[in-house]
Homo-oligomer: A and B are copies of this chain.
Amino acid sequence: MLGADLLCDTLLSNGVDTCFANPGTSEMHFVAALDRKPRMRCILGLSEGVVTGMADGYGRMADKPAATLLHLGPGLANGLANLHNARRAHTPVLNVVGDHASYHLKNDAPLTSDIESLAWPMSQFVKRIGCAADVAKDARAAFEAAMSIPGVATLILPADAAWSEVSNAPKHQPYVPKQPVVDDKAVQAAAQAMTSGRKTALIMTGRALRAAGLEIAGCIATRTGADLLSQVSNGRIERGVGRVPVGKIPYPIDQAIAALKDYQAVILIGVSEPVAFFAYPGKPTHLLPKDCDIINLAGIADNHIETLAALSKAVDADGASSGAVTHAVAPPAIEDAALTAELACTVVARHIPDNAIICDESISSGRDFFDQTSHAAAHDYLQLTGGAIGIGIPLAAGAAVACPERKVIGLQADGSAMYTVQGLWTQAREGLDVVTIILSNRSYAILQGEMKNVGVDKVGRNASRMLSIDEPAIDWPSLARSLGVQSCRATTVAELELALEKAMAHKGPMLIEAVIA
């Protein structure tokens, strides 16, 4: 068999059966091998930002990596911004980056570039396959690396490693996750802090934000009076009916500092000490009060559920009420009016069906949405994690590939949507059950706020040309239809209500432009 076939077999034997791709000439032998493996589902993205963003959405929901297939350095480069988001979400992703045949690299042909240098900033594992004989070993190592923390692993596949003959795959060894390690000392320190009468918060991410983790954390909170918080941006939170509500540290620096100012102790699970998203002149970059006790209870790679269980035992919380949401509470109906960002989010919050997946790249327009949906029907909540805009449309597509029976709702800022708008085409081609609500304010509104933060109240031509995206206004319904996605526009509360009712009754991709003032 060829190295390319062995790579496919190794991926499949490890359960990697979905490949988001945009291949090129150097990957043709791998494409031919994929063509011989109908068990692998190959999904095309019309640019690599779509490819990697889909892999992020898939990995967050499937808890295993999809493969990506990328064309040399430039193909990887196009996908790096969303790999940055995947890295920050700790999503398992396994990139296969094709490269020239190894003996051709020295010729510096036009598509040659330093792939390792490009890959490392967004990968926790980078390996160039030396020859076809190494394919199975290196692919398995990449898979293990993607699963371990989890995170992004990048495998560079030279064309000659793909096209050379190699013996069959070695016998498959099942992947055994690392044994959970609970830091008993940290558990005792955390328990002591929580029961000392000091104002305490548990700040969490990762598996602690799944239903099982939150259930234990809820009991601990009930028992100790501690608050439950998550970091500003999290890869996935299980929320709504049946789940314990968890707060989120606000994004704006002043609000974040205010939200944390009274804590005397914080216990960190999977997160680092909270820091500012950006630095501002004269403002702190560390968000906790100076004298706040910080206890690192578990790192991102540790077992959050076992750790929470140990903490629960230590504070005698087993059997306490978790405070999980018992029944869905949607915001009440609102009177018809022209849409604003707040009204649009409220209307969307009223229409969340049971078991939905919400992909939130609403940026400044959706700041209230998280609080409005804490008591919604059970749902998963996926966010922009790394601040690299352009994740929303592909994230929703990838989540829909992983969970074909669930409705995916994309709450999407317009400026960010334009980064990877090509993802709508993949939603159409694959018939994915995604409804995208474009919060269309025709500006990078967050930056207009930031201009005020730097002391500019009245912007001139240059700044306004860089921060507004009107002139021309993007016609979102036409744009979506041109890529095969049904669409409509809503400018009032009533129109958006009607559009969402239709969208929730419809199976397949749909886009609603919510024009907001």
Contacts and interface: CB of A to CB of B under 8 A. Distances in A.
A243 to B, nearest CB: 24
A29 B286 contact: no
A457 to B, nearest CB: 11
A469 interface: yes
Contacts of A432: none
B466 A278 contact: no
A319 interface: no
Contacts of A22: 466
Interface string A35-77: 1111010111011010000000000000000000100011101
Contacts of A159: 278-279
A24 interface: yes
Contact of A46 (B104, B462, B469): B469
Contact of A113 (B21, B122, B459): B122
Contacts of A38: 460-462
Interface in A432-475: 446-447, 450-451, 453-456, 459-463, 465-467, 469, 471-475
A483 B24 CA distance: 28
Contact of A31 (B75, B121, B232, B463): B463
Nearest to A23: B466
A110 B279 contact: no
Contacts of A475: 481-483
A110 B233 contact: yes
A44 B469 contact: yes
B456 A277 contact: no
Interface string A79-108: 011001000100000000000110110011
A285 interface: yes
Interface stretch (A262-270, A367-375, A421-429): A421-429
Nearest to A473: B484
Interface stretch (A189-197, A289-297, A381-389): A381-389
B25 A446 contact: yes
Given A428-B472, A429-B471, A277 B110 contact: yes
A108 B272 contact: yes
Interface in A208-261: 232-233
B28 A275 contact: no
A50 to B, nearest CB: 10
Contacts of A450: 25, 28
A398 interface: no
B418 A46 contact: yes
Interface residues of A, number: 106
A423 to B, nearest CB: 11
Contacts of A78: 49, 78, 80-81, 390, 419
Contact of A279 (B47, B100, B429): B100
A12 interface: no
A200 interface: no
Given A74-B81, A77-B84, A456-B32, A109 B277 contact: yes
Contact of A29 (B80, B122, B454): B454
Contacts of A473: 484
Nearest to A35: B463
Given A28-B454, A113-B84, A114-B121, A418 B429 contact: no
Nearest to A40: B462
Contacts of A179: none
Contacts of A121: 73, 113-115, 117-118
B447 A74 contact: no
A36 to B, nearest CB: 8
Nearest to A484: B472
A449 B200 CA distance: 64
Given A34-B463, A78-B78, A109-B285, 5 more contacts: A108-B272, A114-B121, A425-B472, A474-B484, A475-B483
Ranked nearest first, the 6 interchain pairs of A and B with the lowest CB-CB distance are A472-B484, A74-B388, A77-B80, A479-B482, A101-B279, A478-B482
